[in-house]
Amino acid sequence: MAGGPIYPSSAFYGDSTGRLFPAVYAPVAGSPNDAAREQCHGVVGSFSSGGNALLHLRFHMPPTIPTGTLKLRSLHLCNATSGAAAIIVEDGTCPVGSKPGSVTLTAETLYTVSWATGEADKYKEVKTTLTATPAANDILVVAIKYTTSTLQWTLASQLNSIFSVIWE
């Protein structure tokens, strides 16, 4: 049986220069409905300088782990018609009674999210299969590495990200 989504119980912006921050995404072109805004994790536009920035996330696992493959579901919103962002997901499992700072994280494959003409204000979805195999009631430790070291960050507009874990 597939399961989720589970949203982070904790988020810490590991960037002292203010390039990562809590954000509210609002479509620039406006929206005809009353629920146009969404809470996200924001990344400044033109992020290409200053090195990588880390978003620290914790996900509390349920008492019964669903069957299927554990994945991090990433949704990204941006008011852009061109540009790309590069992201690496790192994950590990922390049983209750253990130190989350001592968990060894496994880096998953880098992914890029790109925008083209006509894609402004539209969700971009990426599902990353995680190496971690948490047991019931464990804490899933995840680092989101917004990176400039592997790919030139070409997105000039603010990136807005939403993360959850799912099993499918």
Tokens of 153: 């960050």
* Amino acid at site 35: A
Q: What pLDDT score was predicted for residue 27?
A: 76
Which residues, at least 6 apart from 97, have a Cβ–Cβ distance to it below 8 Å?
Answer: none
Q: List the chain pLDDT tens, one digit each, 168 residues.
A: 688 899 999 999 998 889 999 999 987 666 677 787 889 999 998 887 778 899 999 999 999 999 999 999 999 999 999 999 999 999 999 999 999 999 999 999 999 999 999 999 999 999 999 999 999 999 999 999 999 876 778 899 999 999 999 999
pTM for this one? Answer: 0.93
**Rounded to the nearest 5 degrees, what angle is found at the Cα of 166, between the Cα atoms of 113 and 42?**
40
Q: What pLDDT score was predicted for residue 30?
A: 62
- Could you give all domains of the chain from N- to C-terminal order, each with its CATH number? 3-25+38-167 (2.60.120.260)
What sign for the dihedral angle of Cα 151, 152, 155, 160? positive
Residue from 56, 68, 67, 130 nearest 93 by CA? 130
